[in-house]
């Protein structure tokens, strides 16, 4: 059984869907939910689910990403984590940290990668006049929102969509996609998962 640390920065709805999926014969279980924001709503949700939580405020570290990551490393070691799932974790990690977790760290990103790496993905898809939007789960490599794609889910873009209405259509697909990918990945299967709404 793989021990999963889930890193969040906000409400943690993807964290909840991952944690709820790790039951029964699932090849993984959640051992830690960690946030860089001490106020993240997801921390209370994780506690309520009986999962250990930790918060490391990044702000006192300023530009010292390595200093922040030293504490992160300690928490991950204390939890004896095997895999990391980034789930709405809004801090950029250093190449050095990422290399230590190579092949053992996943991320979910709200676009059909390789389109729209970075922020404001839905607004950018709308502005480009795209017909489809969606989300991707990928292995984390040193380049931002890059790395081998392990799954994608598509939704249509509809007339009158705003970034908010589109996000509300994509998020439920994130909640299906990430658990589906993690189940395979934790069992050693990197075959991509493709979903449509
Ligand atoms: C999700 O839509 C996730 O794809 C996105 O943040 C949201 C977190 O929601 N992640 C990124 O933008 C990563 N750069 P959640 O806290 O409810 O899971």
Regarding an ipTM greater than 0.90, the answer is yes
**Is-catalytic flag, 58?**
no
| Run of H or E residues at 41 | helix 41-48
The active-site residue, picked from 26, 58, 109, 175, is: 109
Q: What predicted TM-score, i.e. pTM, was given to this entire model? A: 0.98
Asked if residue 65 belongs to a known ligand binding site, the reply is: yes
* Atom of ligand 1 lying closest to residue 8 CA: 16
Q: What is the pLDDT of residue 180?
A: 98
Q: What percent of the chain has pLDDT over 90?
A: 99
**In which band, very low, low, confident or very high, does the pLDDT at 172 lie, cut at 50, 70 and 90?**
very high
For 120-164, the pLDDT digits (tens) are: 999 999 999 999 999 999 999 999 999 999 999 999 999 999 999
Mutate to test the pocket of ligand 1, among 15, 42, 87 (most ligand atoms within 8 A of CB): 87
Q: Which residue has the tokens 């950029």?
A: 92
The arithmetic mean of pLDDT across residues 176-183, rounded, is 98
| Residue % of the chain over a pLDDT of 70 | 100
- Extended beta strands in the chain, E state: 2-8, 28-35, 53-55, 83-86, 105-109, 132-139, 149-156, 193-196
Between the CA of 108 and the centroid of ligand 1 the distance, in Å, is 7
197 is in an annotated binding site: no
Spatial distance between the Cα atoms of 33 and 51, rounded to a whole number of angstroms? 7
Mean of the pLDDT values across residues 30-55? Answer: 98
Q: For residue range 83-133, what is the model confidence (pLDDT) as tens digits?
A: 999 999 999 999 999 999 999 999 999 999 999 999 999 999 999 999 999
Q: Does 163 contact ligand 1 (Cβ within 6 A)?
A: no
């Amino acid at each position: 059984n793989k021990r999963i640390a889930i890193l969040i920065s906000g409400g943690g709805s993807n964290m909840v869907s991952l944690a709820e999926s790790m039951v029964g014969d699932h090849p993984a279980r959640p051992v830690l939910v960690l946030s860089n924001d001490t106020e993240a709503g997801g921390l209370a949700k994780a506690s309520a689910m009986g999962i250990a939580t930790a918060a490391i405020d990044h702000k006192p570290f300023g530009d010292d990403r390595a200093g922040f990551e030293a504490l992160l490393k300690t928490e991950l070691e204390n939890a004896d984590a095997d895999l990391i799932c980034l789930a709405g974790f809004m801090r950029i990690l250093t190449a050095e940290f990422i290399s230590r977790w190579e092949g053992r760290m996943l991320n979910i990103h709200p676009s059909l990668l390789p389109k729209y790496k970075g922020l404001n993905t839905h607004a950018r898809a709308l502005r480009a006049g795209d017909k489809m939007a969606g989300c991707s789960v990928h292995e984390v490599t040193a380049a931002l929102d890059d790395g081998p794609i392990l799954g994608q889910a598509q939704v249509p873009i509809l007339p009158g969509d705003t970034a908010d209405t589109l996000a509300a259509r994509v998020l439920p697909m994130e909640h299906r996609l990430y658990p589906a990918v993690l189940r395979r990945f934790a069992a050693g299967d990197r075959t991509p998962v493709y979903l449509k709404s």
